[in-house]
Amino acid sequence: MREGLLAHTLWSPSNRRRFEHWVWLPPGAHRDLPVVMLLHGVYEGGGFCWPQKGFADLCAARLVAAGEVPPFCLVMPGDTGAEQGSGYCDWRDGTTCAETYLVDELLPWVAAELPAGGELHIGGLSMGGYGALTLALRHPGVFRSASSTSGFFDPARLFRFVPDAQQRMWGDGEGMRDHDPRALVTDAERRRDLRIAFDCGTEDELLDQNRDFHALLDGIGVDHSYAERPGGHEWEYWSARLEHHLRFHLAGAAFSP
Between CA 169 and CA 139, with CA 42 as vertex, the angle to 5 degrees is 55
pLDDT at residue 44 in the model: 81
The whole model's pTM is what?
0.96
Strand partners, 6: 23
Is 199's pLDDT higher than 80? Answer: yes
Average pLDDT, the chain: 94
pLDDT at residue 166 in the model: 78
122/245 Cα distance (integer angstroms): 10
pLDDT digits (tens, 9 = 90+) for 64-76: 999 999 999 999 9
Torsion sign (Cα): 135, 137, 138, 140: positive
DSSP E strand stretches across the chain: 5-12, 17-24, 33-39, 73-77, 116-125, 145-149, 195-201, 225-229
Strand partners, 231: none
83 in Cβ contact with 165 (< 8 Å) = yes
**CATH code given to domain 5-251:** 3.40.50.1820
Higher pLDDT, 63 or 48: 63
% of residues, the chain, pLDDT over 90: 86
Q: Categorize the per-residue pLDDT at 173 as very low, low, confident or very high, splitting at 50, 70 and 90.
A: confident
67/84 Cα distance (integer angstroms): 38
pLDDT digits (tens, 9 = 90+) for 89-133: 999 999 999 999 999 999 999 999 999 999 999 999 999 999 999
What b-and-e string marks burial along 77-96, b requiring 16 or more CB atoms within 10 Å of the CB?
bbbbbbbbbbbbbbbeeebb
pLDDT at residue 41 in the model: 94
